[in-house]
Structure 1
Amino acid sequence: MELLHDLFFGNDAFWGGGVAHSVLILALVISAGIALGKLKIAGVKLGVTWILFVGIAVSHFGMRLEGHLIHFVKEFGLILFVYSIGLQVGPSFFSSFKKGGVTLNMLAVAIVFLGVIVTYVLYLITGLPITTMVGILSGAVTNTPGLGAAQQAYSDMTGIDSPDTAMGYAVAYPLGVVGIILSMMAIRRIFRIRFDEENKAMTDWEQGGSSREAVRISVSVKNPFVDRKTVLQIKRLINRQFIISRVLHENGHIDIANAQTPLTVGDRVLIVTTTDNIDFIVDFIGDRIDMDKEEWERLDHQFISRRIMITKSKLNGKHIGELKLRSGYGVTVTRVNRAGVDLIPNHGLQLQMGDRVTVVGSEASINAVSKILGNSMRRLNEPNLIPIFVGIFLGVVLGSIPIMFPGIPQPVKLGLAGGPLVVSILISRFGPHYKLVTYTTMSANLMLREVGISLFLACVGLGAGEGFIETVVYEGGYRWIGYGALITILPLMIVGIFARKVLKINYYTLMGLSAGAMTDPPALAYSNGVAGNDMPSVGYATVYPLTMFLRILTAQLLILCVA
């Protein structure tokens, strides 16, 4: 019994009860929290956030870790979490500002800053410490990195930790998840939204939104002006983005096209282009004909089509034109698939590790090209640890640089949350341009992220458990739930009504916007279930990178400017 007591509650003769005690408590909190996170409450799962509540519970009953150990594990877990998030969202961070993404991101920015304004007004009215209010804000918007950034900023400024920040987060979080969903339901009821109308709008959006993805068409050459002109000459005349993959001559002979292949009237060609270019290309060359992929494959039985994966690190960042696959190996690259999207393989397209290129040619030629490109899943499964730890090193350095702003008494630091996030976004986006291999499999990224957030939440809970019940029950902490509800619902309703009434944004996209502006996966899961399509996910992914960055930054600014 004494051994069990020492394991669970520690022993003063050892540092925090010893290594065995520390590992046991962390493992207990994390495993129990993850198990509870699989349960649904009113149809909603809180996921890994249960780790925080389990940590609070075991800490309340006396199971705690040594203070320095908690601080180290918490900060290291936070670094792993935000760095893996940056690797995931980095490639889409800058592209999310293009076209319709600008509008969605501006709406998300409005939600973020309205939440900050509501928090500051409540701080002035209630007289609660700003550390508590920032914790309530982070919980109300379900943003754990913001919690970490606020705690770290306060610790850097004062040299002490603030457990009331974690308490505010834990109290406000559950209703934060529910409040997001309630806001979505309220918007639907206010505008009497009908899903059949939204589905029609979604169809129209998809037809326009897919205009940049690669499609295959068959065309019969009819225009005398292109007779005997080469593919290169035609491309210069049209000045549109397309690839002519194969040419079927009138005599039944079929060729893999290259830049010097001539077209004659009567030829039939297989073209890969984008939806918005189809009409122009067809009108210039001839008439569109109905020949599907299977017909072409039956005709060119001497050729094969294969999808090859880029797994050689020396190809990372190279342009397709540099490989000279047509002239050197007699094969044609017809598509490049990156993250599930088919891209037009023009000469200037930069390749990245993990890209899947579709090539057409003879079997011998394709086998040779496979060796050139790699096509080895084993290489992708090997982790590229150097960019990860170099990025973390640079992120910690960047996060430690003080930045002075006029009117702010204390210098602002990106901290251990913001620094690694910024560096990981930049590395994942621009690394391939400088031959830096940043590719990690989705499973590896998810493992890194989940380990980091689990360690962070466990330590936050273990550090906040002492006095948590007394604060909530006897010191007015129950009122924090109402404050959190206001911070959650008011910005979502104001922006949601404006977006729907003035900007006429599709309800499915609006649900994704709301979930993304609150960086809340449970709300996204609910949105996807209601919509039955991927539009909420598109809206979520569009605003998530910028929102995550702003949540981390504004949490720190509130602490530094007001505390």
Structure 2
Amino acid sequence: MLVVTLGAAVGVIPFGPLRFGAAGALFVGLALGAVSPALGDGLALVSTLGLALFVYTVGVAAGETFFADLRRQLPLMVLGVATVAAVAALAGLVGSWLGLGTGMVAGLLAGALTSTPALAAATAATGSPDAAVGYALGYPVGVVLAIVVVALVVSRSWPGRADPTPASADGIVAESVHVERATSPRAVPGWSDEAIKMSYLVRDGRTRVLAPGEDLQAGDQVLVVGAPSAVEAATAHLGHRLSRELTDDRGAVDFTRFVVSSPAVAGRTVAQLNLPGRHGAVITRVRRGDADLLARDDLVLQLGDRVLAVAPQEELDDLSALLGNSERRVSEVDALALGLGLVLGLLVGAVAVPLPGGAAFSLGSAAGPLVVGMALGAIHRTGPLIWAMPLTVNLTIRQVGPLLFLATVGLSSGPKFAEQALTATGLRAGLLAAAIVLASAAAFLAGARALGLSAPRAAGGFAGYVGQPAILAFATSRVSDSRVDAGYAALFALGIIAKIVAVQVMGAVG
């Protein structure tokens, strides 16, 4: 715990745009382990626990996005996997030429591509303490060079013929509109494909919530919510913008944010709640983490979501009871779902598939919980069990897990790191780590351009390919574009799996 504490302190120290985060525990562990090798004994169980917690929570959070975007982002995913395979083969050849062992090369690949789970797989596959040394040498090189690459790419405007700017790139706005002619909502641009929502309706001086399928009449006043471009198109079709805001009148109809904390609601779509029919209400937006989402009918609500509901005043208390609206409940861990999910993940990881030559392949404690977490995250719930966690809980566990794992790895690998870090071998390892990152960037970005992807999605995809949240944070600080996050989400979990498989293949053939 001393290593975890000091490592967390080191992790928040800024080096320009770079922070080491959880990897600070690795460097502190290496230093203390070099001073006293006995400190690293008997920590294997703690290491496995920390790793399993991390990858499982990553999988649960990424599962829905991964499978929902599978078809649309499949070319980007294939590109990421192909790049990992090509770079792993290149690393093996160059590493052999430089006289570096298989364990060192596998660790360098995991470190340069900042994959903690891949380090665990590399150590297990090669049985060499050099894997942790290679990881420690390659990690800072990988993060620094990846940030430089993203800085050069994310603001570019190369042609993205297959990746136009999304309508949601500018966020969500609400516009009060005067209706000039009778029309059906289905005729309004953006209504059928749910690019907009309409909530407030003022007719003959009376304010209420627009009912589903209700036609609009000349003289009506409505509130249109959606991306700026979609709201502008709907306004032009309906009539003109009002000089006053309909939301200023909160007498008969009001809008309130509610926290989704009810297990009965979590894991269900907005449409399944049937709020218009049951309460005469409509959900227009959902705040999840730092993102505002338009409340499409197929959007699955999660514990901790903050939904913006427009409803008659007399229905607000019932809505609060339905959704839960408890901050305390969304800060709690469902130990039953978490424990069962981890058990399933570790069991799947323990399954060994025989390979030719007497070898065997298994997902291990790195990929097993990750794959199961992704599947359960996509399912959302099974009967009373809700697999998805509140985002705050997920992020907390995701921070603790790598700290435990990297601290134990550092303590056990300290002596070996001290022997090789400041030697010719360490220099060759650093050069190979740089080659891994630069070759990855060249192949991935060239492929993204060939596929017609935009620079923001390519930069986000490369950040997910490398897998370091600091790189994503740097990219989003440079541009505000949802394609950055989408590219990251498409490759983050898949990239982890690809790197795990790559280092296991290295161990098998080495």
TM-score by length of 1: 0.78
The higher radius of gyration belongs to: 1
Match of 2:131 among 143, 155, 165: 165
Matching of residue 326 in structure 1 with residue 262 in structure 2: no
Q: After the TM superposition, which residues 332-481 of structure 1 pair with which residues of structure 2 at under 5 Å, given as runs?
A: 332-339=282-289, 340-346=291-297, 350-404=300-354, 407=356, 409-432=358-381, 434-473=383-422, 476-481=425-430
Larger mean CA deviation between 274-283 and 352-361 belongs to 274-283
CA distance in 2, matches of 1:244, 1:533: 25
Measured against aligned partners, the alpha-carbon deviations of 1:285-337 in whole angstroms (never above 9, x if no partner) come to x6332036x53134563221222222111223345455443344333434444
Name the CA shift for 1:221/1:357 in 2 (closer, same or farther; >3 Å). Answer: farther
CA distance in 2, matches of 1:174, 1:234: 55
Higher relative contact order (CA 8 A, sep 6+): 2
Matching of residue 174 in structure 1 with residue 133 in structure 2: no
Measured against aligned partners, the alpha-carbon deviations of 1:14-63 in whole angstroms (never above 9, x if no partner) come to xxxxxxxxxxxxx2322222222333446533233232222222222225
CA distance in 2, matches of 1:490, 1:442: 35
Match of 1:54 among 15, 28, 38: 28
Partner amino acid, structure 1, of 2:316: I
Matching of residue 222 in structure 1 with residue 181 in structure 2: yes
The answer to whether the Cα contact below 8 Å between 1:352 and 1:432 also exists between their aligned partners in 2 is no
CA distance in 2, matches of 1:529, 1:306: 30
- Residue aligned with 1:308, SS: strand
Match of 1:145 among 111, 117, 128: 117
Partner amino acid, structure 1, of 2:372: V
The answer to whether the Cα contact below 8 Å between 1:39 and 1:45 also exists between their aligned partners in 2 is yes
Q: Give the CA RMSD over aligned residues.
A: 3.6
The answer to whether the Cα contact below 8 Å between 1:399 and 1:413 also exists between their aligned partners in 2 is yes
- Residue aligned with 2:293, SS: strand
Matching of residue 483 in structure 1 with residue 442 in structure 2: no
Deviation of 1:118 after TM superposition, in Å, equals 1.0
Measured against aligned partners, the alpha-carbon deviations of 1:384-410 in whole angstroms (never above 9, x if no partner) come to 1111111110001000112245x5642
CA distance in 1, matches of 2:321, 2:445: 52
- Residue aligned with 2:76, SS: helix
Matching of residue 514 in structure 1 with residue 462 in structure 2: yes
Q: After the TM superposition, which residues 34-433 of structure 1 pair with which residues of structure 2 at under 5 Å, given as runs?
A: 34-41=8-15, 44-65=18-39, 67=41, 69-99=42-72, 101-126=73-98, 128-154=100-126, 161-184=127-150, 198=157, 205-210=164-169, 218=177, 220=179, 222-223=181-182, 241=194, 243-249=197-203, 251-259=204-212, 261=214, 263-272=216-225, 287-291=238-242, 295-298=245-248, 301-339=251-289, 340-346=291-297, 350-404=300-354, 407=356, 409-432=358-381
CA distance in 2, matches of 1:350, 1:467: 48
Measured against aligned partners, the alpha-carbon deviations of 1:232-270 in whole angstroms (never above 9, x if no partner) come to x989xx855465424333x32333332475644443333
Larger mean CA deviation between 272-281 and 77-86 belongs to 272-281
Name the CA shift for 1:369/1:182 in 2 (closer, same or farther; >3 Å). Answer: closer
Q: Give 1 or 2: higher helix fraction.
A: 1
Name the CA shift for 1:240/1:518 in 2 (closer, same or farther; >3 Å). Answer: closer
Name the CA shift for 1:267/1:153 in 2 (closer, same or farther; >3 Å). Answer: same
Name the CA shift for 1:531/1:336 in 2 (closer, same or farther; >3 Å). Answer: closer
Q: Across the two proteins, how many residue pairs are aligned to each other?
A: 505
CA distance in 2, matches of 1:328, 1:208: 31
The answer to whether the Cα contact below 8 Å between 1:353 and 1:437 also exists between their aligned partners in 2 is no
The answer to whether the Cα contact below 8 Å between 2:261 and 2:330 also exists between their aligned partners in 1 is yes
Name the CA shift for 1:123/1:434 in 2 (closer, same or farther; >3 Å). Answer: farther
CA distance in 2, matches of 1:350, 1:33: 37
Partner amino acid, structure 2, of 1:55: G
The answer to whether the Cα contact below 8 Å between 2:173 and 2:227 also exists between their aligned partners in 1 is yes
The answer to whether the Cα contact below 8 Å between 1:273 and 1:344 also exists between their aligned partners in 2 is no
CA distance in 2, matches of 1:220, 1:269: 7
Deviation of 1:420 after TM superposition, in Å, equals 0.6
Deviation of 1:276 after TM superposition, in Å, equals 8.0
Measured against aligned partners, the alpha-carbon deviations of 1:348-383 in whole angstroms (never above 9, x if no partner) come to 654433333333333222112211221111211222
Partner amino acid, structure 1, of 2:208: D
Identity in percent: 27
